[in-house]
Amino acid sequence: MSLLSQYLTRLLFVRFLLLLFGMGAFMMGLDLMVNANSVMADGDNALASLTRYILLRSPTIISDLIKIAALLAGLLTLTFLIRHGELAAIWNSGVSQFGLVRRLIPLAIILGGLQFVIDDRVVPGSVEALSDWGVVDDVGGRDRKGATAVTWIHVGSDILRIPQTNIDPQGLRNFTLFERDANGNLQARLDVGEARYRDGNWELRDITERRVAGGPVRHEARRNWPVDLDVESLQHVLVHPRNLSLGQILHFTDGDGQGTWAPYLYETWLYTKLSNCLVPFLMLFLSVTLAQQSQRAGRIEFLLLGGIVIGFSFFIFNGITLAMGEVGMLPPLVASSTPLLVFAAVAASVAFWHELKKAPS
């Protein structure tokens, strides 16, 4: 790493950490204003409960703020360099916009890796712990709306209707199984008392079968259930894909239609989690491109205001395409990658155009 790369990385990373900590503390304060009473009411030690809640809630907040902190850190750092004449010296030394971006790649890798680790390793566990704790309702974990709430699970070609409280890692209880053929036509309804996983096979117990074609109602004590349903993933079937790890999402994506949510929703979040790791690099790229414009115009405020507007335009555009991917209006890969590709292409085009203007005729 060159001396210039080390200098820029140090400036940007320090500002990034300060912004991340400051915005995270602010967002946590707003969150506690809503949930502090219910958190402190759980248990005798209110301080311990608040500390536990902050530790479990922080990963989700940090995950959402990394991209914004990267944008603001890039804008503030380049504003600092312009005000002190250092950016002009960097340009005049022969470093192009692309050369400056190239020197920021190590920092972009660090921020992208941080985003990946928090999204893939920290957030799923913290959301699950908060959901199990149950002191607040809206944490994005398993959807627990009471004993009467039911969910529908797609397993192969069959559909399960089961109360949410009857799903646990050991099996299923008191649910309805709708058997369908390969074309999706309903064949029979089975009211099942219990389903247990033993020695690699599922076994249904206390079964009442009603055939669509008619005939007498049949009762069976036991029946093998030949489906590829992973018992270890039962505790995750009610969790929204945004709060699952990449491995868990891949399992549901490749699981022969297995899961509570639509397959395209799992695929959309699979690609979104991967593309989110590249967003910090895009934010830094946009900052460098705008810095060139601001220095030429001699107006630093253009860098700050323009960067904030363009950056948040990206987040709005990304939210729209993500929502369209979640409901199946866009293919998952298109919904997840389009904003990133569009803004990267625009930034690269602007930077390339100015490099051409600087080139000798």
Cα separation of 204 and 224, whole Å?
6
> Could you give the 3-state DSSP secondary structure of residue 361?
coil
Read off the pTM: 0.86
| CA-derived radius of gyration, the chain | 26
* Per-residue pLDDT in tens (0 to 9) along the chain, 361 residues: 689 999 999 999 999 999 999 999 999 999 999 999 989 887 778 899 999 999 999 999 999 999 999 999 999 999 999 888 898 889 888 888 899 999 999 999 999 999 999 999 999 999 989 988 888 776 665 555 544 578 888 887 889 999 988 888 778 999 999 999 988 899 999 999 999 988 778 899 999 999 998 889 999 999 998 887 777 677 788 888 999 999 889 888 865 556 778 889 999 999 999 999 999 999 999 999 888 777 665 567 778 888 999 999 999 999 999 999 999 999 999 999 999 999 999 999 988 887 776 665 5
**Cβ 19 vs Cβ 73: under 8 Å:** yes
Distance CA 111, CA 155 (A): 38
- Give the DSSP letter string of 240-274: -GGGS-HHHHHHHHTSSS-BSS-HHHHHHHHHHHH
- Checking 20-27 for CB contacts under 8 A at 24+ apart, the result is 20/62, 20/65, 20/66, 20/69, 23/65, 23/68, 23/69, 24/58, 24/61, 24/62, 24/65, 27/61, 27/65
Residue 237 region by backbone torsions, left for phi larger than 0, else alpha for psi between -120 and 50, else beta: alpha
pLDDT number for residue 139? 63
User: Domains of the chain: which residue ranges?
Assistant: 3-140+269-358, 150-238
